[in-house]
Amino acid sequence: MSRWEPDGRGRLEQAALALYAERGYDNTTVAEIAERAGVTERTFFRHFADKREVLFAGAGALQELLVSTVANAPESLAPIDAVAVGLEAAGALFQEHRATVCRRAAIIAGTPELRERELIKLASLSAALAGTLCRRGLSGPAASLTAEVGTAIFRIAFERWIADTNDREFARLVRESLDQLKAVTAGE
């Protein structure tokens, strides 16, 4: 997802982000995105179902990375720590594309329809995570709970990372949030 990738897909993503920021999400059409990217509308629809999906195109890869990292984390790790390792891996991906991720987050935050979509993607992430934790041998109820908590840590760390003026790494904010969670649940 580097800036101005040579392929149409990457160009379309960058064009959409730029237009949403300039004109607002609601006021941007697929035709305008295609034009800005220098491709046809048909090419747009070969890559994305609609203008909303451009913003969530990375969700599948993110979920895959998270799930496979958790699945392959050392067996000796407690489930919540295996989840943290997965979140750190996801964070490395964010870190690499910080400018794009921040622009995307700003557009989503400003549009209720997109915030709803984001919630659904997070619920799906949580369900996938629960499945992986089950396969790691955790009981169903404990797996769901750990996945929900992991998703909560992810949201919190993400919000802090976006707002952070000290340029701290995503992985560090995940660790901080997890430590805070441990303190909170220990009743401190």
What is the nearest approach in angstroms of a second copy to the Cβ of residue 174?
Answer: 12
CB of 159 to a second copy, least distance (A): 7
- Cβ proximity to a second copy: between 21 and 128 the closer is 128
| Helices 112-135/79-96 angle, 10° precision | 140
**C-alpha dist (Å) from residue 6 to 13, 22, 30, 93:** 12, 23, 20, 20
Site for a second copy, rule CB under 8 A: 78-81, 115-116, 119-120, 123, 141-142, 144-146, 148-149, 151-153, 155-156, 159-160, 177-178, 180-182, 184-188
Q: Give the CA count within 13 Å in the CB-facing half-sphere of 160.
A: 19
DSSP-assigned letters across all residues of 18-75: HHHHHH-STT--HHHHHHHHTS-HHHHHHH-SSTTGGGGTTHHHHHHHHHHHHHHS-T
Judged by beta carbon, residue 15 or residue 90, the one nearer a second copy is: 90
> Which of 99/186 has CB closer to a second copy?
186
Instruction: Report in angstroms how near the CB of residue 148 gets to a second copy at its nearest.
Output: 4
Closer by beta carbon to a second copy, 99 or else 184: 184
CB of 131 to a second copy, least distance (A): 15
CA gap 168, 89 in Å, rounded: 15
CB nearer a second copy, residue 69 or residue 144: 144
Q: Return the H-helix or E-strand segment holding 151.
A: helix 140-163
Name the minimum Å distance from CB 162 to a second copy: 13
